[in-house]
């Protein structure tokens, strides 16, 4: 049995907004970051408002924990800075499962 191990360098970003952030600001933050499925006219029309992460290959592991490629890190950090988020960043090895979830072509 032959096992092919594919790994790639990635970045894990762990973030949270400051304590006692207003609920209205939390909603705006999440909508702009993750995007939002929405509808109008009582569900007659459905569409998606895109967020920042819709254009970045990523994997959301938990609330406030995202895996992404190092080249996309600056875009996310710039956005998080706007909301004064507390951010931790570390380099990691992405595994096969991460790469397929992020829809990164395997060579």
Residue pLDDT, tens place only, 22-76: 999 999 999 999 988 888 887 788 888 899 999 999 999 999 999 999 999 999 9
88/56 Cα distance (integer angstroms): 19
- Model-level pTM? 0.81
Total residues belonging to the chain: 107
5 pLDDT above the threshold of 60:
no
pLDDT category at 1 given cuts 50, 70, 90 is very low
38/43 Cα distance (integer angstroms): 8
Report the pLDDT value the prediction gives residue 46, as an integer from 0 to 100.
86
Region 11-24: mean pLDDT is: 94
99 pLDDT above the threshold of 80:
yes
Report the pLDDT value the prediction gives residue 2, as an integer from 0 to 100.
44
4 pLDDT above the threshold of 70:
no
Distances, alpha carbon 17 to alpha carbons 22, 68, 82, in Å? 10, 19, 11
């Amino acid at each position: 049995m032959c096992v092919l191990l594919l790994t790639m360098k990635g970045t894990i970003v762990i973030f949270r907004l400051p304590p006692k952030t207003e609920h209205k600001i939390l909603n705006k933050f999440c909508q702009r970051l993750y995007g939002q499925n929405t509808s109008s006219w009582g569900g007659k029309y459905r569409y998606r408002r895109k967020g920042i992460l819709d254009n970045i290959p990523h994997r959301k592991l938990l609330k406030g924990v995202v895996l992404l490629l190092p080249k996309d890190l600056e875009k996310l950090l710039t956005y998080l800075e706007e909301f004064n988020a507390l951010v931790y960043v570390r380099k990691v090895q992405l595994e096969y499962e991460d790469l397929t979830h992020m829809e990164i072509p395997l060579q």
